[in-house]
Amino acid sequence: MTYPHERLSANPHDRTALHRGDDAWLEERWADPRSRVLVVSGTRIRPRDGQIAWVSPADAPDGLRVLLGEQDGRAWFAVIVDAELSQAGEPGEWTPLRGVLPYLADDAGLVLHALGLAEWLFVTRFCPRCGEPLSARSAGHELVCPNGHTQFPRTDPAVIMVVTIGEPGAEDERCLLGRQAVWPAGRYSTLAGFCEPGETLEDAVRREVLEEVGIVVGEVEYFGNQPWPLPASLMIGFIGRALTTEIQVDEREIEDARWFTRAEMRELSEAGTIALPSGVSISRSLVEHWYGGPLPGHW
């Protein structure tokens, strides 16, 4: 079975990291009319006609050039310009990553790479060690201050898990989904949280589930992972086996949590009573993996 989240990593590009400091190579690729460029305004891009808009280097505006790599026999770049460009456009014209997820196709890895770097560059302006301004180098993948302190892009590991109880595959096996108070009515998803310093991923699963819904988890099985630069995460998916069933939501992050059998999940999702996660998220993949196939409806 092919899972929905695999769309975001199905066609990985060669990141050509060894060429990031090769000015002659970079200029040669930039001069090649076959190369393609994604224009990023701050942390937003502008889709056209329901597609991600890539342009030739000759049609790209001035800005910080970021090398993404090579794919399909050509080089791919991003040009990051000031955020004022997106603010000057029509409402909804320049869109953050979450808004362009439905448009992603074979270029998904390139777009995630570009917007992940753009987010990092947008929020990392000054050296955390000495406070001096930072300048980009290595084709946008490093920042350095006048005192020589170097900063690299950061990715925060986050665990995301479907929690189950009962004999795997049995008719009465149930899975646990929760919802936040700020979500629209009926929206439910898997639980998730960030890994803390000195903590294994498996223990992060157990801690987050216990904190958010009061359920004790025993066995934890790895499922898969997904880049999720919203703004800078790697979502690492797990299946957790519950040892207890009584739910006690924390009422801070989680407003409600429920156990669902497969029959209940199908009935409620078909009726539109519950809305399950987006089709490209690893949360959706975890739910459908447990269910055993596709389910109707999504956020």
pLDDT in tens, 219-271: 999 999 999 988 899 999 999 999 999 999 998 889 999 999 999 999 999 99
Helix ranges (H only) for 1-95 are 23-31, 84-88
For the cut 90, the answer to whether the pLDDT of residue 132 exceeds it is: yes
Q: To the nearest whole number, what is the mean pLDDT of the chain?
A: 93
User: Distance between CA 181 and CA 27 in Å, rounded?
Assistant: 51
Letter for the amino acid at 123? Answer: V
Residue 90 has a pLDDT of 59
What mean pLDDT do residues 199-218 have?
98
pLDDT at 99: 87
Mean pLDDT of the 17-45 span? 97
The percentage of residues in the chain with a pLDDT greater than 70, rounded to a whole number, is 97
Q: What DSSP element (H or E) covers 90?
A: none
CA distance 251 to 281: 25
pLDDT of residue 280: 86
| pLDDT attached to residue 91 | 55
3-state secondary structure of 288: helix
Residue 149's pLDDT is 98
Read off the pLDDT of residues 57-111 as tens digits, 9 standing for 90 and up.
Answer: 999 999 999 999 999 999 999 999 988 766 665 555 899 988 888 888 889 999 9
Cβ atoms of 299 and 4 closer than 8 Å? no
Give the whole-angstrom CA distance, residue 161 versus residue 276.
14
State which amino acid sits at residue 242: A
The residues with which 150 forms a beta bridge, in sequence order, are 144
pLDDT of residue 89: 59
pTM score:
0.90
Residue 114: name the closest of 69, 82, 150 by CA.
69
The residue with greater pLDDT, 88 or 293, is 293
